[in-house]
């Protein structure tokens, strides 16, 4: 049995089990158990010497926003008290690295820091970035920063916990593998999602509806009056028209009863009428997915859940039907030779189309299914697929939460929530789009 033990650990009483190991601090763990602090432990037990530590420290600084990093002599040589020169926000910094093996006392750390600080001040930097594999407590950090302030130097400390946290970031997995020999496994899913578009809430619809009800009813009464007058002047022609329409002549009482039923039906179905107007005049959402990782992704599924909305199918403006917005008081007879209703095609979708959606109780769930997602270029949906209708007019935004899964990854990636603005759309603006389209088509 191979046992790793630190000095001071009594090896005579170690358990004789092939699966039991002891780490460098004498703490027992299972051989095949994944350590959650492996990065921390390998940094503390650093055995690779000065050159790799300086190169690793430079990677940590690059991740943290430093640039123009110019190492001095990682392989040995006079560096004038500078392990590297770098910059941040346009200001000059000095990097100092301290990677001893095993735990050091704060006195040892402080002596090394003071030595590096004295050397750095000769070059008049704005700041000193001190990178170490040692633990430094809060009070000790404050003390080291105060020493720097006394010299007029800003100090940024990259202590053991901070360095380990940076190296455990998914994007740092290649660095972790290179310097600590920690196998990252499959590269993590790294995807950016952009939702292009807004949710909308219709305003002014009821006022327009009430005006239309009154206007259409009066128009139908006037037409009925003209028909009665024509009947009185030429009864034969009027009877022929009624025979062709297969509708008996209406009395005034019949007409008023029909208008009353029509008004009730229009009010009952007005929400559907507004939805039809929105479906044909409002812009829909589009989606953009960017693979920011360094791996090709296959069988990618993104599930987006947007709360506080409902969805409508996005139709082209030429699918607008006036009868679906405001049906006539007396519908015209159906043409038996009219052919297939164009709305039959509204629900048809191209096979394997990557965007699908469904409405839930108080939200919409959108699914993007992509066979492949390359690091370049980004995937963008080809058309407006869904229109979002906000449930509350007072809302200024709604929230979209999203997850990603892909072939070969057993875990679900959860993206950061996305806010989608909510706009108010007046019914007059939507109707003006319909009117403009009618004028263009009539030319």
Sign of CA dihedral 337, 339, 343, 344: positive
* Whole-number pLDDT of residue 33: 47
Mean pLDDT within 246-258: 74
Please name the residue ranges forming H helices in 47-105.
Answer: 50-63
Beta carbons of 155 and 130 less than 8 angstroms apart: yes
For 298-314, the pLDDT digits (tens) are: 999 999 999 999 999 98
* Whole-number pLDDT of residue 334: 61
Six token digits for residue 264: 């009730």
Q: For all residues of the chain together, what is the average pLDDT?
A: 82
Per the model's pLDDT, the better-predicted residue between 123 and 235 turns out to be: 123
Residue 6 pLDDT level (bands cut at 50, 70, 90): very low
For 107-118, the pLDDT digits (tens) are: 999 999 999 999
Beta carbons of 335 and 408 less than 8 angstroms apart: no
Beta carbons of 242 and 236 less than 8 angstroms apart: no
Does residue 442 surpass a pLDDT of 60?
Answer: no
For 145-190, the pLDDT digits (tens) are: 999 999 999 999 999 999 999 999 878 988 999 999 988 776 678 8
Report the distance separating Cα 58 and Cα 76, nearest Å: 16
Q: What is the dihedral of CA 291, 294, 300, 305, to 10 degrees?
A: -50
Omega prior to 377 cis, within 30 of 0 = yes
For 56-103, the pLDDT digits (tens) are: 999 999 999 999 999 875 555 444 556 899 999 999 999 999 999 889
For 346-375, the pLDDT digits (tens) are: 555 556 789 999 999 889 999 999 999 999
* Whole-number pLDDT of residue 217: 84
Beta carbons of 176 and 182 less than 8 angstroms apart: yes
For 118-146, the pLDDT digits (tens) are: 999 998 999 999 999 999 999 999 999 99
Task: Write b or e for each residue in 371-392: b if 16 or more Cβ atoms lie within 10 A of its Cβ, otherwise e.
Answer: eebeeeeebebeebbbbbbbbe
Domain spans, the chain: 44-180, 191-201+277-331+349-433, 205-272
Helix, strand or coil for residue 416? coil
Fold of 191-201+277-331+349-433: Immunoglobulin-like (2.60.40)
Six token digits for residue 291: 């693979």
Helix, strand or coil for residue 353? coil
Report the distance separating Cα 196 and Cα 387, nearest Å: 11
Report the distance separating Cα 45 and Cα 103, nearest Å: 8
Give, for 210, the enclosing helix (H) or strand (E): helix 205-233
Fold of 44-180: Trna Endonuclease; Chain: A, domain 1 (3.40.1350)
Report the distance separating Cα 325 and Cα 271, nearest Å: 10
CA 414 to chain centre: 9
How many CB atoms neighbour CB 140 within 10 A? 17
Beta carbons of 69 and 46 less than 8 angstroms apart: no
Please name the residue ranges forming H helices in 45-190.
Answer: 50-63, 106-121, 138-150, 160-167, 173-180
Overall residue count recorded for the chain in this entry: 443
Query: What are the φ and ψ backbone dihedral angles of 266, each rounded to 5 degrees?
Result: -65, -45
């Amino acid at each position: 049995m191979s046992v790793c033990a630190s000095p001071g650990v009594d090896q005579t009483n170690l358990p004789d089990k092939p699966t039991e190991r002891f780490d460098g601090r004498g703490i027992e763990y299972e051989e095949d158990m994944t350590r959650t602090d492996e990065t921390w432990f390998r940094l503390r037990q650093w055995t690779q010497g000065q050159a790799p530590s300086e190169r690793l420290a430079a990677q940590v600084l690059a991740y943290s926003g430093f640039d123009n990093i110019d190492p001095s002599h990682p392989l040995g040589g006079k560096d004038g008290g500078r392990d590297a020169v770098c910059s941040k926000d346009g200001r000059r910094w000095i990097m100092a690295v301290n990677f001893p093996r095993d735990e050091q006392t704060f006195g040892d750390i402080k002596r090394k820091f003071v030595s590096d600080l004295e050397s750095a001040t000769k070059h008049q930097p704005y700041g000193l970035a001190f990178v170490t594999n040692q633990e430094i407590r809060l009070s000790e950090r404050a003390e080291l920063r105060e020493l720097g302030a006394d010299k007029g130097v800003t100090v940024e400390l990259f202590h053991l916990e901070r360095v380990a946290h940076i190296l455990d970031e998914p994007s740092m997995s290649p660095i972790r593998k290179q310097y600590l020999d920690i196998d990252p496994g499959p590269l993590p899913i790294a995807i950016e999602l952009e939702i292009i578009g807004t949710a909308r809430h219709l305003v002014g619809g009821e006022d327009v509806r009430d005006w239309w009800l009154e206007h259409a009813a009066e128009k139908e009464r006037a037409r009925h009056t003209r028909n009665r007058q024509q009947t009185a002047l030429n009864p034969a022609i009027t009877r022929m028209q009624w025979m062709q329409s297969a509708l008996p002549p209406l009395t005034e009482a019949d007409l008023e009863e029909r208008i009353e039923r029509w008004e009730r039906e229009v009010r009952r179905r007005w929400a559907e009428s507004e939805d039809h107007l929105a479906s044909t005049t409002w812009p829909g959402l589009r989606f953009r997915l960017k693979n920011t990782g360094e791996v090709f992704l296959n069988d990618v599924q993104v599930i987006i859940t947007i709360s506080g909305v409902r969805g409508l199918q996005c139709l082209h403006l030429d699918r607008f039907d006036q009868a679906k917005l405001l049906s006539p008081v007396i519908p015209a007879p159906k043409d038996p030779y009219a052919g297939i209703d164009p709305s039959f095609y509204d629900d048809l979708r191209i096979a394997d189309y990557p965007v699908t959606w469904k409405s839930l109780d108080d939200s919409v769930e959108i699914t993007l299914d992509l066979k492949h997602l390359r690091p370049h270029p980004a995937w963008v949906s080809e058309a407006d697929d869904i229109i979002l209708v906000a449930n509350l007019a007072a809302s200024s935004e709604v929230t979209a939460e999203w997850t990603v899964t892909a072939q070969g990854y057993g875990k679900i990636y959860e993206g950061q929530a996305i806010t989608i603005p909510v706009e108010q759309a007046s019914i007059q603006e939507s109707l003006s789009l319909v009117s403009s389209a009618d004028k263009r088509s009539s030319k």
